[in-house]
Amino acid sequence: VTLLPMRASRQAGVSAPIVLAAVRVLREAGVQIADPEQQAGYVVGALADGVLEQGARALGDPMVGLTVAGRLAPGSLGPLDYVLFTSETWGAALTLVAKYYAVASERVRMTIETRGTETAIVLRRDPPYDANRFWVELSLALIAERARQSLGADWKPLRVDLVHPAAAPQTNHAAWF
């Protein structure tokens, strides 16, 4: 008998508590949406994607990831929020979040990379798993939102570079961040 790792027996997903927190925010905004099925504490990627895609359609919001991120209460990220709000420094917080990012998503890896005087938060999609742009935007927006909550409302990243294009010409990701 060969035992396979849990991940091999199911599709990679997004943390069920985080997806359910997003569902709650969308319901509060008036979206009629069902709770997605969960497996071993995660929502399979396609179902998690469907939550934000349904929210974007229902609200007519091409930046739904940013919208949801701005409305997720502290604590919604579980242990990652604990780390973000209780670490001695913001750098230590981000290092720990990167180390344990699989708690939030099995489809994306987070690293902290320093080049010269700049430090970057980098999210890399794990092939063959595709992550829809709403979750990538939500992830970065949540980190920015938690930074503002921890460090002050005036905090802004030096820049945000996304591999995917903006949702539509009228959207302004830079202004949100």
Percent of the chain exceeding pLDDT 70 equals: 87
Band the pLDDT of 169: cuts 50, 70, 90. low
- What sign has the CA pseudo-torsion 51, 24, 64, 70? negative
Cβ-defined contacts of 82-85 (< 8 Å, 24+): 84/143, 84/146, 84/150, 85/146, 85/149, 85/150
How wide is the angle at C-alpha 85 spanned by C-alphas 137 and 43, nearest 5°? Answer: 45
Q: Quick one: pLDDT at residue 36? A: 96
Torsion of CA 144, 161, 29, 11, to 10 degrees: -100
Q: What value does the mean pLDDT take over residues 101-114? A: 91
pLDDT digit string (tens) for 48-57? 999 999 999 9
Band the pLDDT of 10: cuts 50, 70, 90. low
Q: Quick one: pLDDT at residue 9? A: 56
Pick from 139, 134, 15, 25: nearest CA to 71 = 25
pTM: 0.86
Q: How many residues does the chain have?
A: 177
Residue 127 has pLDDT above 70, yes or no: no
Residue 35 has pLDDT above 80, yes or no: yes
Residues ≥6 apart with Cβ < 8 Å to 125: 107, 108, 131, 136
* Residues paired with 42 in a beta bridge: 15, 39
SS (H, E, C) 50-104: HHHHHHHHHHCCCCHHHHHHHHCCCCCCCHHHHHHHHCCCHHHHHHHHHHCHHHC
Q: What value does the mean pLDDT take over residues 86-105? A: 93
Band the pLDDT of 165: cuts 50, 70, 90. confident
Residues ≥6 apart with Cβ < 8 Å to 155: 144, 147, 148
